[in-house]
Amino acid sequence: MKKTFFGLVAVLVMIIGAGCGWYKVNYGTIPYYVQVTQDGKSEKITYNDGTSGTIYRYNLTGYDKSGKSQQVKLIESRILKHDAYLKAAYSKKENVISWEEVKKIRSTSSSFGGIK
């Protein structure tokens, strides 16, 4: 009886661990720092309820804390300020999930590569 119980608990722990690992790989985010240096490309869309709107697509270069660059795609419903600095939560599956505006990054090292 005890062996069966502990066997079931072990299987359950492995399933939960595998699920958490899968979720982190597919939906975990990495913070990247970007500077908005270009205008977004506007696109007219129609929502499911029949109303229309405009979205803006931005293709930006982001840098992580180690200085590694990554092309990030940001879709926003408003125009972003030129030369604004953003901290973007980047997911390999979904691109930018969320972002926040930050003050200019001052770093003596080369950790933020192309951000000036």
Superfamily of domain 2-101: Protein of unknown function DUF1093 (2.40.50.480)
Please enumerate, as own/partner, the contacts of 49-52 that have beta carbons within 8 Å and a separation of 24 or more. none
Give the C-alpha separation, 115 to 106, whole Å. 9
DSSP 8-state secondary structure symbol assigned to residue 110: S
Domain boundaries, the chain: 2-101
Tens of pLDDT, residues 46-96: 989 989 999 999 999 999 888 899 899 999 999 999 889 999 998 877 788
User: What pTM, to 2 d.p., does this model score?
Assistant: 0.68
